[in-house]
Amino acid sequence: MKIENRQRKLYTNSVTENSWSGYQSKTMWSHVIFEHPSTFQTLAIDPLKKKEIVDDLITFSKGKGYYAKVGKAWKRGYLLYGPPGTGKSSMVAAMANLLDYDVYDLELTSVNNNNELKKLFTEVSNKSIIVIEDIDCSLDLTGQRKEEEKKEDAKEKNPIAQMVKSEENSGDNSKVTLSGLLNFIDGLWSSCGEERLIVFTTNHVNKLDPALIRRGRMDKHIELSYCCIEGFKVLAKNYLDLDSHPLFETIQSLLQTTQMTPADVAENLTPKVVPWDVETCLNNLIEALKKVKEEARLKTEEESKSKTYGS
C-alpha cells in the first residue's frame, strides 16, 4: 500500500493554563510529531491474524464508496484486549503507520464532563485514530451502569425518596459517563467527519460493559496474547537478525507450554553485553522460559495443595 510521506501527529488531550491573562484557558488537544517505529512487519503475532487485521484496515481505508452506499458513517471501532506487554499499544502505532493516520490519544481521566468530551470528539480530524487506552481503568464505566441500574430498582421501590435524591444530584455533571461516551460514539461522532478509527485497549475485557463493546460500536475484537513460535520468529528477526537456528526447536517446545508475553521475550532476547552473539541471547531466553515454567508449576502445586487442605 502506498503511504504518502507527510508528517503525522500524535495528539493528547491536556489542559493548559493561561496564567498571563489570569484566566484558565483550555486547549483541547496538543500535539507532537508521531514517530513510533512499530509496523505490522515488526509485530510479533500470529501471521494469519496479522493478515486478517491488515486486510480489514486496508478495506476500511478504501471503503468511502461502500460506506456511502450502505448508508453507514465511514468509521470503524477496534477493541484490542490481552495481558500487559502483548502489543496493544504497538498495534495502534502499526495501524497509524499502515494507513498514514494521525493518532488522538484520549485520556478520559483528564476529561471533566460529557461536554468536554463532546468538544474533544468534534475537534478530531479525518484520517485519524482515536485511542482510549486501558478503558477499564479510565472510568468506572461498568460501575456507573450498575449504579444506574441500582437507582432504577430503588426508584421502583420508593419513587418519592429517589426523586428527592436525583434532584440533589442534578448539578453533578462533572464526570464523563458511560452513556455520554456511547452517545458520542454512536451519534455525534458518526454524523461528522469521515475515515476515522476508534480503538479501545484493555487488559480486562470481562470488566467492560457489554454495551460499550457490542458490534457496531467496537466492530472488530482482537485478542493479543502470549508469544507463540511465529511471534518469536518475528522478534528473533527484529532483535538478532536471525531467520533460523538449531535452538529454535527448544524455544518452540518451551513456548508451547509456557506463557510469556512478547514484551518479555523481546527483553530476554536483547543483547546485554558487547560484543554479543546469538547463542547467548537465545540461551538467555531459554533460561527465562524454563524459570517461568517452573514458577507456574510450583504455583499450580501450591494451589492444588491449598484446595486439598481447604476442602
Ligand X SMILES: Nc1ncnc2c1ncn2[C@@H]1O[C@H](COP(=O)(O)OP(=O)(O)OP(=O)(O)O)[C@@H](O)[C@H]1O
DSSP string, 240-265: H--S--TTHHHHHHHHHH----HHHH
Whole-number minimum distance, CB 81 to ligand X, in Å?
9
Whole-number minimum distance, CB 9 to ligand X, in Å?
20
Considering the rule CB under 6 A, would residue 270 count as an interface residue with ligand X? no
CA pair distance 293, 296, nearest whole angstrom? 5
Selected binder of ligand X within 8, 13, 76, 87 (CB under 6 A) = 87
| Residue (of 196, 87, 190) closest to 133 by Cα position | 87
- Who contacts 34 (Cβ-Cβ below 8 Å, separation ≥6)? 8, 9, 10, 96, 102, 103
Considering the rule CB under 6 A, would residue 89 count as an interface residue with ligand X? yes
Residue number, 184 or 197, with CB nearest to ligand X: 197
Span from 41-49, 62-70, 142-150, 288-296 in contact with ligand X (CB under 6 A) = 41-49
Q: Where are the beta strands (DSSP E) in the chain?
A: 9-13, 29-33, 75-81, 102-105, 128-132, 196-202, 220-223
Q: How many residues does the chain have?
A: 311
CA pair distance 305, 106, nearest whole angstrom? 45
Whole-number minimum distance, CB 279 to ligand X, in Å?
22
- Who contacts 182 (Cβ-Cβ below 8 Å, separation ≥6)? 211, 212, 217
Residue nearest ligand X by beta-carbon distance: 87
Contact track, ligand X, 164-203, x by CB under 6 A? ---------------------------------------x
Whole-number minimum distance, CB 94 to ligand X, in Å?
9
Site residues for ligand X, 234-263, by CB under 6 A, read: 262-263
Considering the rule CB under 6 A, would residue 97 count as an interface residue with ligand X? no
**Quick check: bond before 275 cis, omega within 30?**
yes
Whole-number minimum distance, CB 301 to ligand X, in Å?
29
Whole-number minimum distance, CB 43 to ligand X, in Å?
4
* 92 neighbors 34 (Cβ within 8 angstroms): no
Residue number, 75 or 88, with CB nearest to ligand X: 88
| Residue (of 69, 291, 90, 114) closest to 199 by Cα position | 90
Selected binder of ligand X within 77, 85, 180, 193 (CB under 6 A) = 85
Residue number, 61 or 90, with CB nearest to ligand X: 90
CB atoms within 10 A of CB 131: 26
Considering the rule CB under 6 A, would residue 45 count as an interface residue with ligand X? yes
Span from 82-90, 124-132, 136-144, 173-181 in contact with ligand X (CB under 6 A) = 82-90
Q: What are residue 223's phi and psi, to 5 degrees?
A: -90, 130
Considering the rule CB under 6 A, would residue 208 count as an interface residue with ligand X? no
Binding footprint of ligand X on the chain (CB under 6 A) = 42-45, 84-90, 203, 262-263, 266
